[in-house]
A and B are shown apart, each in its own frame.
Chain A
């Protein structure tokens, strides 16, 4: 196993917190009962499961655990939000979302578009900001659902969700928010929120993979999409992923405590990293720098070099990061988020995303500050674009 890595890809997935592992262990050994069983042995698991749900509800400010529907991951939550809402309002055939959503919303909206729904795709400006007037103009009496992410996974740009929500709710439309990147990183309180549906993912906040949540505000119409038993208040049938839910509960409890740290220490490290890189590397830029962003995310573009080769060189140094573009098929697809922001082509291919967590140390950030500028310089020496520019 590779151990000594500098892990700066926390928007992709996170390390499971040791406390979470400990909390889960008994549920992989002794507490194997089915929470739906009549006997005490199973019934005790139900109680502990509900305690975990309380922890989840507490982090996001849900009023009761009945608003917390456990899913397998945020992709399922996003799919469910669309299905559950659109099936509840079959007469309304219009959806509003943005051009910068995660594929688990983007491709789902495109699926419904192919099914005959009309989809309004909201654009963003050069800083990744939404145009609220565009949203206002897009809502019609036929709009069934507005689905907008809380914070962008690639750039960390945070949308003014409550401002958006006010407009959506003024029209009586269901408001779904993909909160995957925001939950656990910035404070959020659903108690007096305009959000009807919220997706979150366990493995993005130091819980294990395989557990997610769809928050459904009490009173929101929702057609179940997974039919079977009575689990999750018959909104999502299937025997519960008990260890996963216990782990997510613990992770939420920890996240609630660490949010302060996240917004201070992690932000300090992120800002230090960005400032040093911008200073040491000419012709580099931070995407979305002028607007509100998550404290842990940095999307940096370097002119004249290609992202995958940066990642490969970082990888040789044991640094885990990710890039916006994917050279996987015949074409190199630049990130749809950066293209929507109008990041110029000579920068867009040379983008890396560094995403920190509360486990990131200052020493690790200093190593990156030391290593990354040299990598860019080496790759620029190789690049025909760089020379021709000088």
Chain B
């Protein structure tokens, strides 16, 4: 069943500013019919950079139509610089929320606006304002940028390509960009992990045994387990003897033929990186 807010239904049933502008100052089309979602946005912009008119056409579900409709209301009468930072979260807020499965539908509206403004700035020979996302496009089906994916990974603590697809739509079309998304996840999570100051700070002083054990426990609990759990696996700390950390692999990891690789290249690597370079990880069954 659809759990759409009254405002979504209202915009879906009575969409504003549908149609085309004869001589637009900026326009963009994102999405494709293969993916089942497409939007065309056209803008009329005066000499002061004020958006005097906006028209859209959308092929898509109720949420996609309502998102585009509400977006036109959000930008008409505003200056291009004012609206350059509008994100899909802003659109969702304006709509009074969207069901989680539909969040990606609002993304296309924000992307259409971004592309249309890029078109405008390019035609005018102007530099886009700094708040505008000009990072490279990763998903061409849905026009999702690298920054957008990185931001979603941070904001929603995403760890898998599927999660990124759910939140941003990236990779949900032809799927060609999935490998690239994985790279962005790896890079972004790498940054996240390096950040926690308490771990980095403690690393500089020699550790007491107790501190060291606590840290190993912490890293396994907070860093390693969530990653393995995302793939249906799990890990349990069994014992720590000097430099040897004994773990038990659980869930899908238990049956996994490459679990020795996971232990050496991921678990051990992570513990070495964050706790002690001398650590050796051993599997107990």
Interface size for A (C-beta < 8 A) is 27
Q: Is B67 an interface residue (CB 8 A)?
A: no
**Pairwise interchain contact B104-A382, C-beta atoms closer than 8 A:** no
Contact B61 A308 (CB under 8 A): yes
Q: Interface-forming stretch among A123-131, A150-158, A290-298, A325-333?
A: A325-333
Contacts of B165 in A (CB 8 A): 329-331
Closest 4 CB pairs of A and B: A331-B172, A330-B165, A332-B36, A384-B57
B276 to chain A, nearest CB (A): 39
CB distance from B69 to the nearest CB of A (A): 9
B11-19, B127-135, B205-213, B236-244 - interface stretch = B11-19
- Within the complex, the shortest CB–CB distance from B275 to chain A, in Å, comes to 36
Nearest CB in chain B to that of A306: its residue: B60
Which B23-48 residues have a C-beta within 8 angstroms of A? 29, 33-40
Return chain B residues, CB-CB under 8 Å to A381.
18
Distance of A305 Cα from B36 Cα, bound (Å): 9
A312 on the interface (CB 8 Å rule)? Answer: yes
Chain B residues with Cβ under 8 A from A327's Cβ?
36-37, 61, 101-102, 105
Q: Flag if A382 contacts B33 (CB, 8 Å).
A: no
User: Is A387 among interface residues, defined by CB-CB distance under 8 A?
Assistant: yes
A315 contact set on B, CB distance < 8 A: 2
B178 vs chain A, min Cβ distance (A): 11
What CA separation (Å) do A315 and B62 show in the bound complex? 12
| 20 A-B residue pairings within 8 Å (CB atoms) | A306-B59, A306-B60, A309-B60, A312-B61, A312-B62, A327-B36, A328-B101, A329-B101, A330-B164, A330-B166, A330-B170, A331-B165, A331-B171, A346-B33, A349-B36, A382-B65, A383-B57, A384-B39, A384-B59, A387-B20
Set A309, A346, A349, A384: member contacting B62, Cβ < 8 A: A309
Contacts of B29 in A (CB 8 A): 384
Task: Say yes or no: is B114 at the interface (Cβ < 8 Å to chain A).
Answer: no
Closest approach, in angstroms, between the C-beta of B68 and any C-beta of chain A?
A: 9
Interface readout for B207-221 with A: 1 if CB under 8 Å, 0 if not?
A: 000000000000000
**A window 268-325: CB within 8 A of B:** 304-306, 308-309, 312-313, 315-316, 325
Q: How far, in angstroms, from A316 to B9 measured CA to CA in the complex?
A: 10
Partner of B33, one of A330, A349, A387: A349
Asked if A61 is at the interface of the complex by the 8 Å CB criterion, the answer is no
A334 nearest in chain B by CB position: B36
- List of A residues within 8 angstroms of B105 by Cβ: 327
Q: Does B120 contact A (CB under 8 A)?
A: no
B173 contacts partner chain A, Cβ-Cβ < 8 Å: yes
**Chain B, Cβ-Cβ closest to A383:** B59
Assembly CA distance A241 to B52 (angstroms) = 66
In the complex, what distance in Å separates the CA atom of A334 from the CA atom of B35?
Answer: 9
Tell me, rounded to whole Å, the shortest Cβ–Cβ distance linking A270 to chain B.
26
Report how far A345 CA is from B33 CA in the complex, Å.
Answer: 7
Which B-chain residue is minimally distant from A349 (CB atoms)? B36
Closest to B105 in A: A327
Which residues of B in the span 191-246 have a Cβ within 8 Å of any Cβ on A?
Answer: none
Q: Does A226 contact B (CB under 8 A)?
A: no
Q: Total interface residues on B, using CB and 8 Å? A: 38
Q: 16 additional contacts, CB 8 Å, given A312-B62, A332-B35, A345-B33?
A: A306-B61, A315-B2, A327-B37, A327-B101, A329-B166, A330-B164, A330-B167, A330-B168, A331-B169, A382-B15, A382-B57, A382-B65, A384-B38, A384-B58, A385-B59, A386-B59
Q: How far is the CB of B63 from chain A (nearest CB, A)?
A: 8
Shortest Cβ distance from B167 into A: residue: A330
Q: How far, in whole Å, are A384 and B108 apart by their CA atoms in the complex?
A: 14
CB B165 to nearest CB in A, in angstroms, measures 3
Tell me the residues in window 338-385 of chain A with beta carbons closer than 8 Å to chain B beta carbons: 345-346, 349, 381-385
Which chain A residue lies CB-closest to B18? A382
How far, in angstroms, from A382 to B162 measured CA to CA in the complex?
30
For window 102-118 of B, CB contacts with A under 8 Å fall at 102, 104-105
Q: Evaluate contact between B20 and A309: CB separation under 8 angstroms.
A: no
Give the chain B neighbours of A305 by CB distance below 8 A: 59
Q: Complex: how many Å from CA A387 to CA B168? A: 28
Give, as a whole number of angstroms, the nearest-CB distance from B67 to chain A: 12
Among A309, A346, A387, the most chain B Cβ lie within 10 Å of the Cβ of A309
Chain A: minimal CB distance from B253 (Å): 17
Within the complex, the shortest CB–CB distance from B166 to chain A, in Å, comes to 5
Is the pair B57, A308 in contact by a Cβ cutoff of 8 Å?
A: no
Residues of A within 8 A of B65 (CB): 309, 382
CA distance A325 to B37 in the complex (A): 12
Q: Identify the interface centre among A308, A313, A382, A386: most chain B CB within 10 Å of its CB.
A: A382
Q: What is the minimal beta-carbon distance from B94 to any residue of chain A, in angstroms?
A: 19
Residues of B within 8 A of A328 (CB): 101
Residues of B within 8 A of A329 (CB): 101, 162, 165-166, 172
**Are B166 and A345 interface neighbours, CB within 8 A?**
no
- CA A328 – CA B98 in complex, angstroms? 12
> When the two chains form their complex, are residues B36 and A325 in contact, meaning their CB atoms are under 8 A apart?
yes
